């Protein structure tokens, strides 16, 4: 009788475990499905609201901006989630490496030494490629010089990135005080992320680069899941943390460089979407978190741009609103969880 009772208890426990596992699996799936539907709705509203004219004019006018927002949102979300896994810290974003400061310095140097005519009238593809290559080269130089085999080398890399970012901002501030006030007005418009005016010629190149990096990260998802358990655990399970960190940081440099060169710097947006993705999905699996973060980024950018155009009538910049909300999320995370 005791054996029969034990078997019945064991069977009940197994059924409960299976049921709880299925329920846990259905939770993220339902959340992702809801995010997909919401993202599609935002895109549809953006393309159709207020479209009273000829569709042959509306589609070429709005579609490039929609594609740019999708590409930039996906690139920022993907780079932030992976960067937080590599650093083991949920309040860090790739901007800590000084990418946005380098972008600001490049824009300031162009206006200061080449003039506003060159900055506004230069060939867009050449300028885009030059800025992207400059930021990628800067990142690879840092990684190759400072990233060794120990975990402390990654921390040193982050600290050097912060210091270099401060240096770039100081140089930019010094040069901005020397340039003509009219040139400074032109420069200010280029230092904030803008989704209102998108160069359509750049979208194909940006889509190819972001797509290739996305495919590379998709193949690395199992290793990233293992790395999230800790460097020692990853090593014991056959994953090389150093090689994975080097490769991932190089891919992140491409994503951040392309998105920044395309629309401008967005500091806290990645933190905002990554935090929301982890909270909504409730899973640490990168396959679910990355998809959720990308969808949330699309919803925020497309929905925010729709409100900006149709409600506020371009009275403010979307990048400023995003930075404000992202800063609030950053402070909330620091107060609630600490800096670890």
What is the arithmetic mean of pLDDT over 318-324? 68
Instruction: Cite the DSSP H helix spans in 191-285.
Output: 203-227, 231-236, 241-263, 269-281
What percent of the residues of the chain are helix, what percent strand, and what percent coil, each to the nearest 5? 80, 0, 20
Q: Alpha-carbon dihedral of residues 14, 20, 21, 22, nearest 10 degrees?
A: 110
pLDDT of 22 over the 50 cut: no
Return the minimum-mean-pLDDT range out of 211-225, 256-270, 300-314, 322-336: 322-336
User: Would you call 196 helix, strand, or coil by DSSP?
Assistant: coil
Q: Cβ(67)–Cβ(203) under 8 Å?
A: yes
pLDDT of 43 over the 60 cut: yes
297 closest CA partner among 189, 195, 162: 195
What is the arithmetic mean of pLDDT over 83-106? 82
pLDDT of 186 over the 80 cut: no
**Pairwise CA distance, residues 102 & 114, whole Å:** 17
Predicted confidence band at 12 (pLDDT cuts at 50, 70, 90)?
Answer: very low
pLDDT digits over 278-299, tens only?
A: 888 877 788 899 999 999 999 9
Q: 269: exposed, middle or buried (C-beta count within 10 Å: 0-12, 13-18, 19+)?
A: buried
What is the arithmetic mean of pLDDT over 67-93? 87
Q: Which domains does the chain have, with CATH numbers?
A: 55-337 (1.10.3470.10)
């Amino acid at each position: 009788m005791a054996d029969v009772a034990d078997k019945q208890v064991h069977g009940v426990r197994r059924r409960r475990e299976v049921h709880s596992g299925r329920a846990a699996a259905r939770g993220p799936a339902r959340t992702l499905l809801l995010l997909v539907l919401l993202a599609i709705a935002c895109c549809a509203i953006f393309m159709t609201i207020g479209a009273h004219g000829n569709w042959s004019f509306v589609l070429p006018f709005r579609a490039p901006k929609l594609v740019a927002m999708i590409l930039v949102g996906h690139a920022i979300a993907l780079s932030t989630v992976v960067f937080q896994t590599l650093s083991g810290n949920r309040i860090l974003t790739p901007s800590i490496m000084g990418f946005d400061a380098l972008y600001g310095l490049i824009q300031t140097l162009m206006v200061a030494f080449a003039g506003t005519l060159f900055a506004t009238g230069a060939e867009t593809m050449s300028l885009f490629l030059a800025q992207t290559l400059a930021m990628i080269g800067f990142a690879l130089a840092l990684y190759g010089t400072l990233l060794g085999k120990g975990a402390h080398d990654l921390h040193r890399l982050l600290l050097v990135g912060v210091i270099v970012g401060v240096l770039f901002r100081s140089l930019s501030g010094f040069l901005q005080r020397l340039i003509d006030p009219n040139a400074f007005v032109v420069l200010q418009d280029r230092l904030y992320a803008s989704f209102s005016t998108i160069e359509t010629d750049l979208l194909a190149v940006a889509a190819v680069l972001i797509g290739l990096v996305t495919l590379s990260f998709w193949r690395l998802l199992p290793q990233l899941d293992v790395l999230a358990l800790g460097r020692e655990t990853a090593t014991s399970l056959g994953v090389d943390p150093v090689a994975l960190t080097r490769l991932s940081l190089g891919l992140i440099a491409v994503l951040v460089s392309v998105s920044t060169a395309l629309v401008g710097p967005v500091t806290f947006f990645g933190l905002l979407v990554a935090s929301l993705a982890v909270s909504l999905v409730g899973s640490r699996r990168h396959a679910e978190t990355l998809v959720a973060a990308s969808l949330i980024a699309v919803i925020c950018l497309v929905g925010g741009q729709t409100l900006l155009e149709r409600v506020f009538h371009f009275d403010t910049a979307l990048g400023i609103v995003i930075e404000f909300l992202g800063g609030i999320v950053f402070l909330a995370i620091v107060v609630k969880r600490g800096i670890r």
